[in-house]
Structure 1
Amino acid sequence: MVSRAARHDVAIVGLGYVGITLAAALADAGLRVLGIERRREVVDSVNSGRSYIYEPGIDAILARCAGGSLHAATGWPDELPPVTIICVSTPADPSTGAPDLSNLKDAAAQISRRMPPDGLVVVRSTVPVGTSRTLVLATLRGRNPEASLAFCPERTVQGAALMELRNLPQVIGAVDDRSADLAERFFSRLTDSIVRLSSPEAAEMVKLVNNCHTDLLYGFGNEVALLASTHGIDPLEVIRGANEGYTERAEGLAVVRPRIAKPGFVGGGCLSKDPYLLLESLGDRDPSLSLVRCARKLNESMPGTAAEDFMRMLGRITADPGAATVLACGMAYKGIPETDDLRGTPAAPFISSIAGRVGRILGHDYRVSPECTAGLGAEPVALHDGIAAADAIVLLNDHPGYRRDIAGALSTPPGRKILVYDCWRILTDSGVPETENVLYAGLCHEVR
């Protein structure tokens, strides 16, 4: 247990993805950081100078700062440092979508017993609108009537988190001017760009709106794909035609029209969860009328839709799909920027949908471990071995390595019919679609 708050400038409660990247960035900026985490293996990893997640740049920071400006512990100190930042998980129930705020509630209770009278607590966990005030502030001020509180959301993208922590504007919404001043002074150590809002509720909504807007944009791209499929039209042709010369700012005009997104899967720890936190914030509104709800349901349906389309096309190249060997490429939820994060990965429902309907399912990812690949229901394999054995290849994320390596492997036409089901169309102009004996298809569209 850490007993003296004077050793640290800030405590980070929860060293998940959000917490560990923030802890590393703050330590790199010269602050003395205490990370509090229940999982012993995470604490041991941080204290040994190694990251348990893949994130560019983080290993070098941990190797340099562990044991010095950065320390992790499973226990709580007797007294917390001047600033405590809550980064615990706030998951949504997989069956109902209801948020589970138990980690946040526990953290607030622990902090209320240990924070200094003039300390600042920052909520960084994503929450339904109003949670910081009604749950966290109420708990803190039950013991400390002068407690300062701000909601300061994390808005980074995995694979570029450390860069974005320093360059993205930090939104701050606090319960009073003193709390806002303390939060701005603290985060100015990390970034030059601060956006002050009038309340924690406004800042909570900013985080939800950012992610739900992204989910909506991607959802419309998928809507275009499904509509185009109904009419036998290539969705990428439609999207190119809609975007070209129309979505850029024209000279002399103030309007910038939004680009239509390419179809694809929408996963990750935030985009698969945050829409449900926003829906929890609707009050008396009918959730069935919410665009956010419709987009999330559509995006959640796409792996299953793709699996059925894949099985239909697999029947085009073999009379016995049940004996086919399938190579699933891309276990992580996305490929750009690359990550090893499996939260909300489309690979899980896709593999589950075809399991038992094909002979073997092989799996490959450039960053995900073989153990985690096996946990998703795929047999881990080296990419070149998987390509050699496969009757069908399915690209589940857009990692650019697959364009290079699969196109290279298929530069010589295979000696048998093979299906390449490219959910992200990253091979469209690679020569693969024109390769003899290759049936090439995109998400819900047969190209050749």
Structure 2
Amino acid sequence: MAENIQAIRGMHDILPDQTPRWHHVEAVLRRVMAAYGYREIRMPLVEKTELFKRSIGEVTDIVEKEMYTFEDRNGDSLTLRPEGTAGCLRACLEHGLIHNQAHRLWYAGPMFRHERPQKGRYRQFHQLGVEAYGMPGPDIDAELILLCRRLWRELGLGHKLELQLNSLGTAEERLAYRAKLVEYFRAHYEQLDEDSRRRLETNPLRILDSKNPELREVIEGAPVLAEEFGEESKAHFQGLLERLDEAGVAYGVNPRLVRGLDYYCRTVFEWVTQELGAQGTVCAGGRYDGLIEQLGGKGSAAVGFALGMERLIDLLDEPERFEAAAQPHAYLISVGGLAERKAVALAESLRDALPSLRLQEHRGGGGFKSQFKRADKSGAQVALILGDDEARDLTIGIKHLRTDAGQTTLAQAELVSFLQTLI
């Protein structure tokens, strides 16, 4: 007997009892995106590998270790997308949506990284990404943060997430800071762990984001990037803070907050939680004005964020309520040759009259007893009972499955009115 084939490690099935939570979150996301004037864009799962090497950076962990890259039959190097920003920007450049234009866009779907699987971090994971192009000021940065706050509120998660902010300045300011940072960490080389020593040669700012508690003291003593800021960078960050203060957004300025990708500048932010253990960052983003030129376009302002759908769904309270909301309102039982034939047309007429009705018909035969068991298991509020006698008399039996109300009989002409009370 052949062995069962298992799912790939770190790539999980989303089962029917879990999908209602996803539907709920996705519906809220779509509603909030529309409320702020953001339009959906859909990109391929697979892109040319060069896209990510150029955008993310060849010396990042993602490109060096984590990408699912393969050679196709034409000899081209292709990669399953590890994040969405590069693909979204590629699509906009390819279709002429960037130069001298402003766009607010969003996308959602699976991303792929070959990391060590753990709770909240998978090899196939799902993200919502939001990108805004052509708007250089702190006003759009503030809008994205306010959009996030509204998402949390509508999902009932406002009390579980905290906002952390920082500014990374311009590329020139960061270059000057990098030299000082390298000099500082070289002086403390013996105190660095292996990962930080490697980053010292490739991306020293990432040392500031180390989760190793033994490095906390040496990191706290490092130079501060803001000391290198010119007037424009200072004004941009101050403008962001003033707008958030005016809107009543609570935040913390974290001077050690950096992002793992090379293309960020000025504003960076994270929404974090204490409820998911080590994987506490639920949403992260910032400004990346220089990336467009790296991909061959003319320089333009760009800012965005991505949130992890799995982590967001893990934060939901009482997830079982979403499963209940997806259960059928009614379960149609039919026993007898005439009843089974009439049940098909009756069910279709009910769906025509009540488009929001969730009506499940019994299939697979069986007597009243076995069908009642199926009806109860479905989670439906009522069973609609159609035997040959009811089919001839144009009546229907009603059995309440979640209350102690007795069984009743209705004329089929009254059924639509009755079912409206369940929706």
What TM-score results when the alignment is normalised by the length of structure 2? 0.23
Structure in which a larger fraction of residues adopt strand = 2
What TM-score results when the alignment is normalised by the length of structure 1? 0.23
Structure with larger Rg: 2
Q: Higher RCO, 1 or 2 (CA under 8 Å, sep at least 6)?
A: 2
